[in-house]
Structure 1
């Protein structure tokens, strides 16, 4: 490891965004100690060895257990044994664990912020978005799970004579495949509703961000979760991922659309359910009456949070032609003022890309677009002087098909600016993609904003915000349409997907068959009269 992760940079003469956050003194070695790694990996099923690295320098962070297919099978076996007793635990006791976990996360957030930064390379403020999201999810399901899961009475086929109750039973053992870009929120944040619903979880985090997920597991166990209920397996996605799908009673996956299709096929072959949060090519619409300064600031947040490595980040900006030039000027000025940095401290506006593959994609998309006639308004350069995977926040103008950046997901700090004349045109352009994850509308007229939002084919739409308002409102479902996935997280759908609905119908007094001396014809006539009466009384 390097002696220090913190560097001070100065802006070059061309004014491109490179000023870093204030330098600090802590190193990766100060945070990721041998004792920490030994503590976090205790109980991980893995007979081999692998390693993860920090994007800030490319150096090894930790040696980790590596799981074989046999290890995965063993993890599921252990989880199944633990799940039976866990499911018998009253739901209010399970929910109380989430509330204790909420408090531990906020009390010890500095520890996980360091790990998130070291494993993903993101700025500390963007790491804190994960802390916020996990705390909100823990509080929500800690408070609401008993109501979501409680038995519900329904009107039976014959009112008063048929008593119907809907029960919710856990799926069993959920197989979760978590991504690298939000290793705290998209690991434990997605697992919390599965746990409180009475399931065990076998999780495969990305190897490069496994420490963050393991830290979350340690805190949840301290809050009261039985250790065997949450099993973690680590290894290459093509090796370990299919094994997780092979054994799971339900699969939760967040990642690329290509891999999501493979996961769905594997789950379908076994007739188990799955939820998939996949890619996006998200659009932001700036209408003619938008507050330009607020929209420009929102675009910076929407486009460059976590260096654009966010499924719901903005990659396409559609701006009304009457304000496009002024918006571009203010947006580019804000982008140029951004500070890039690798300090384990607040102050940087953007951090690093996570890996070589992301850097290659970003570089290819930008260079191809410029070569084919797009105009570079700012950015467009890697910054190896700050770290091996840093890339400047980049704004392109004049992008058009068949440039790859026009239609492919970049998943990096690159956004394309487009102009439109009419709202109908902007809506059509925003919808002209197979993806449908998130979108954003900016206007001073809230009613107009909500009207436009309803015409956009995305799972979430934010009016006068980029993504945080929709994602953070955890009572409401969040997920994708089209190539952006299946199922939802958050709200009732986010927990009920981890359950099986069971209907218990208790028939009383008389059977649903000829009785009390009725023959078939009289019974049919009786039931016909009853059905007409139920409609007349407006029964549902």
Structure 2
């Protein structure tokens, strides 16, 4: 079997070698998952929850070890990796606890003509779910699908990013400790071909996180067998700062939202639009905070390296392209990039048609623009092909402005807060994708609705029969007129 190497992004050192699973290997994993799904789905909600809770305990007790794996594979500082694990555990707990309430059978009204019936709806597991995960949040993001799919009663075959296969294997191995009977959660490793094979291997649904370009390829491969997909394909999220915003809080949110995880966050802040009357004061506060953030591999560094080597060229192109068009780097700039490390960069006066504003940068950069009012800010925020998340700082109009931004999620007077709330759905619109993970919507994504109508007694007015009489038809017409005709 062919293999591939994983490199420490900070040093370039080889930190692991993993198999490239071919189509036959992936198909075999899905077949094993099919048998495991029969076992797992036959358990009650309570039995599955108990096992998921035990898994949560294992992850919590070994969090330092998992954080170490994440640090080595993609350079994330240990503290950030631990925070990612903490948020993941919150979601795992919520999914296990709420699956029965969200998915279990419930009665629904039958309507006038079917009053002799009882009606129920429940949500049943699909069977085998494929998950293709990213490298930037190698635990939190794929577990938004894995945890909810498992809680709903599915088996999962997980293909982690080729940059973080050890993290994916760690999750599957720890799950097997508490569910040793069957391979309910399996990992297949490899490059793009392994992901394509998973799309075609007979899974019942596939959840993907990555770029819009790869998302299109995933959809095309899944379409061959009418496999439904959930696509989360990145963003170009904006932060709006209104006239009455708390500027200290807004500046802190902008810098953390844009620079945390070295900017490698799909819901990270990339664009900032600020009311002209507070623009200068806000920019001054952003400069002060951004200058305190340093990229490095030592314990004192707040952000780590760029994990995917090709992304460094994109970041460089965005920074240099903006500067060539007249933008000014008030922090960082052309000299911010050294090897795999990018120091924080804040750009002002960037033309709206620059790549730094139009394309996802995925690095520790911010563009900050002055606007005459929040109407202009909303229009500019919506002037993108993406629609994932957004942030608004405004004491008086925050909720109104958040609703006007075309995005799947928004935070008011905080940043990225929705991701830490398990009851809220997570996902985007437009080129940011479709479908939802997290919350009740996330549980239902990995099920199908089963409607059951049960006749309790014979109807006084038989309608669903060829024995229906002219008198019955006349009575139906009269009921329609009385019930609906006066509207």
TM band (smaller chain): over 0.9
Equivalent position to 1:279, from 224, 230, 234: 234
- Structure-1 residue corresponding to 2:260: 305
Q: Residue 431 in 1 paired to residue 386 in 2? A: no
Equivalent position to 1:94, from 42, 45, 48: 48
- Structure-1 residue corresponding to 2:430: 482
Unaligned runs of 5+ in 2: none
Instruction: Provide the rounded CA distance (Å) in 1 between the counterparts of 2:211 and 2:464.
Output: 59
Aligned-CA RMSD value: 2.1
Instruction: Provide the rounded CA distance (Å) in 1 between the counterparts of 2:64 and 2:157.
Output: 27
Moved more, 373-382 or 170-179: 373-382
Q: TM-score, normalised by structure 2?
A: 0.94
Instruction: Provide the rounded CA distance (Å) in 1 between the counterparts of 2:384 and 2:225.
Output: 31
Equivalent position to 1:509, from 448, 457, 466: 457
- Structure-2 residue corresponding to 1:454: 403
Instruction: Provide the rounded CA distance (Å) in 2 between the counterparts of 1:227 and 1:213.
Output: 18
Closer/same/farther in 2, CA of residues 156 and 533 from structure 1, 3 Å limit: farther
Equivalent position to 1:442, from 393, 399, 407: 393
> Can you list the C-alpha shifts for 1:99-131, whole angstroms capped at 9, x where unaligned?
222222222211111111111112233222311
- Structure-2 residue corresponding to 1:408: 359
Q: Is the 8 A contact 2:67 2:82 kept in 1?
A: yes
Moved more, 258-267 or 497-506: 258-267
Instruction: Provide the rounded CA distance (Å) in 2 between the counterparts of 1:525 and 1:269.
Output: 49
Equivalent position to 2:197, from 243, 248, 253: 243
- Structure-2 residue corresponding to 1:374: 327
Q: CA deviation at 1:340?
A: 2.6
Q: Residue 495 in 1 paired to residue 443 in 2? A: yes
Equivalent position to 1:395, from 338, 343, 346: 346
Q: TM-score, normalised by structure 1?
A: 0.85
Q: CA deviation at 1:317?
A: 0.7
- Structure-1 residue corresponding to 2:275: 320
Q: Is the 8 A contact 1:288 1:320 kept in 2?
A: yes
Equivalent position to 1:83, from 28, 37, 53: 37
Closer/same/farther in 2, CA of residues 185 and 515 from structure 1, 3 Å limit: closer
Q: Is the 8 A contact 1:101 1:138 kept in 2?
A: no
Q: Is the 8 A contact 2:243 2:277 kept in 1?
A: yes
Q: Equivalent residues in 2 for 1:103-502 (5 A)?
A: 103-157=57-111, 158-224=113-179, 226-237=181-192, 239-247=193-201, 248-343=203-298, 345=299, 347-380=300-333, 381-382=335-336, 384=338, 388-445=339-396, 448-467=397-416, 469-502=417-450
Q: CA deviation at 1:226?
A: 4.4
Q: Is the 8 A contact 1:279 1:311 kept in 2?
A: yes
SS in structure 2 opposite 1:252? strand
Equivalent position to 1:55, from 6, 9, 34: 9
Counting matched residue pairs gives 483
Q: CA deviation at 1:464?
A: 1.0
SS in structure 2 opposite 1:483? helix
> Can you list the C-alpha shifts for 1:238-278, whole angstroms capped at 9, x where unaligned?
x1112111122101000101111222233233222111111
Q: Is the 8 A contact 1:173 1:250 kept in 2?
A: yes
Closer/same/farther in 2, CA of residues 476 and 532 from structure 1, 3 Å limit: farther
